[in-house]
Amino acid sequence: MYNQVENGALKSGNAVKFDVPVHMDREGNIVAHQKDAFGSPVTIRFTRPKNCFVLDETGSNTDGKDDGNKGGEKKVGLTGETLKEVVGIKDSHFSVLPISDLTAKLRFVTVIFAAEKLHGAWTIGVDVFAELIDELEANNPTCNHGPGKRYPGLSLFNADGEEIPVFFAATPKASMNSAILKETFQKMDELGISQRGVNKDGTKFYPLVIIDGHPSRMGEDFLRYVNDEDGGTRWIIMLGAPYGTGKWQYHNDKRQNGSFKMMLADAKRRWYNKKRMHKLPPEILPQEIVVVLHDAIQRSFMVDSFGISALCERSWNPFNRATLDDPEILASAPEDVKKARTAVLRSRGVDSDTNAHIPSSQRNLLEAGSGCLAGGTGAAEKLVRAAESLNCSGGTASDILTMMQNAQRKKDGRNNHMAADAAAGNLVPTEELLKRYKEAKRFTSGTVFGSGNGELGTAARDKVIRRNRLSKEKESAATKKKNQKLRKLYAEVKKIQAEMKKKGFKWTNPKLTTMCRWKRRPKDKKMPTRKDELLARWQETKGRPSPQVSPANSDDEGESDDNDDGDKASVGRDESEDDGASLDGDESEDEEASLDGESGNEEEDGPSRGLEFGSDDDESSESEEEEEYSDDE
């Protein structure tokens, strides 16, 4: 991961490479001895840290049922009693996307409300405890707007007095999507937060973003925007390890999201208490969210000391790869690397017990003291004898062993793939990158990270565009096929309706089945086969609306004008597996006839992977968050 991000940082023009890696302490000062350093030797220096960004969404809600205490906070009560506090239970979900640069400064904030559309009152906020000034008397239409006033908005100012821009949006579940992410980047471009230009050596520089593999990152519109060189909106987007966000992501640090959650709970609690004191329901309304958010953001994401520490320990600035010294990750390293890093850490007074953190999938379960084998060496011998006596010729046992062997070969292949990429500095040639993307059965952010170069660049954009186009063509073909079936069914229905107007018409099983299929709805029970059951189904469903097959509402299916309300829907809505229809229109009541015919029978249709040593993520290892494009090429 760090090799990929380093390549991206150099490509963005915001960093330069040291001729020889240097040791740095937590403050980014070069030190002579590695025992005084933090993390691994630093290979690059950021020349434009304010043009390099990290971001991560965090969600919350307005109720206080699950809020914990502020760090170190104690409450006093009678002995033996469970302390309780009145909190709001009215829930309104929202998400906050803080965007910081590599100087630990908060540069932009996106707030997403849970709603179909955004309401203006939510963005300006309402503080019911602030005085409401008569605008006419004050001769000032904005006298009630601003920090500390009735309509405070979300006004954030850093220590230098600069205002932090805030962008508001809404989605049904307050979740990030590709459109909002694109708008966020657009706003940063419009406000001049992101910078582009030419270095002294003639190379171009672009804004750099280190980001996780959320599905919103794989949207076509977003990828088109951030890769538009001609339009002047090019960004360098680098992905982190899909399974390792808890280890490497800046805002996942306890001094960032952790502090924010704690400060938000405190702000909510104070708001509940204030409302109770004024005889108001202890709840937070949607228009009050920005009021409680203001204090929480100021006391977490905007605290410079918190950010500087998080940047260092998450390995971004200085670029010290300190995350790889995490015991859980170091445990997966080759023995020589593990011994070397352990010796370095001990020279710094850090005791790294890597054996205690080795995942069970990577341990030798027959080794005494592995922590995974109860019974010691005796049990190991018994286990070996039991394994030798296993019947491996049976179908199930053979299949299981085959799957185990295939899984091991796949893992070995990933390790070899990663080793080859690492030997080349994780620089994947364009032709090889395109080949890997073409061969990928699925295309997600995990594919870009594991099989590609970790960059959401033009190759990834073109792959997504191609996949979406093929997916639309496939969907169009399926819709066309479904419509053809519906038209065929309609022709059969028209034929039967014409027969019904003749004297002596008799129902048969095929005719009843055809008419029942015409009126079938997706949630109907299985189509019956007996004639009496088919007749009962027809009597029950014949009054349902019929689908429209023709482009215009001119087809009345031979029905009476008195019974046709003309409210017919277009072809292509969801239908059942029996090609039935569930659209609009009415069927005439005079479709009954005498019954005849025989009963018929008609057939119905471990550690954070990607950060560990000796393994890699490819397209077969996808996080739950990733978006899948599964059309065939």
User: How do residues 8-61 score in pLDDT, each as one tens digit?
Assistant: 999 999 999 999 999 999 999 999 999 999 999 999 999 999 999 999 999 998
- pTM of the predicted structure, to 2 decimals: 0.74
CA-to-CA dists, residue 34 to 132, 230, 335, 346, angstroms: 61, 45, 20, 11
Q: Which whole number is the average pLDDT over 269-286? A: 91
Contact 572/582 with Cβ under 8 angstroms?
Answer: no
For the chain, the average pLDDT equals 81
State the Cα–Cα distance between residues 240 and 606, nearest whole angstrom.
Answer: 17
Report residue 576 as tokens: 């059942």
Instruction: Specify the pLDDT at position 354.
Output: 54
What pLDDT digit, counting tens, does each position of 104-144 carry? 999 999 999 999 999 999 999 999 999 998 877 777 888 99
The pLDDT confidence band at residue 406, using thresholds 50, 70 and 90, is confident
Most confident of 98-102, 138-142, 416-420: 98-102
Higher pLDDT, 240 or 80: 240
Q: Which whole number is the average pLDDT over 603-629? A: 42
Whether residue 367 is predicted with pLDDT greater than 60 in this model: the reply is no
State the Cα–Cα distance between residues 226 and 189, nearest whole angstrom.
Answer: 11
Report residue 581 as tokens: 């229809």
Percent of the residues in the chain that have a pLDDT greater than 90, as a whole number: 57
Instruction: Specify the pLDDT at position 20.
Output: 95
Instruction: Count how many Cα atoms sit within 13 Å of the Cα of residue 222 in the half-sphere of its side chain.
Output: 20
Contact 162/107 with Cβ under 8 angstroms?
Answer: no
Contact 513/534 with Cβ under 8 angstroms?
Answer: yes
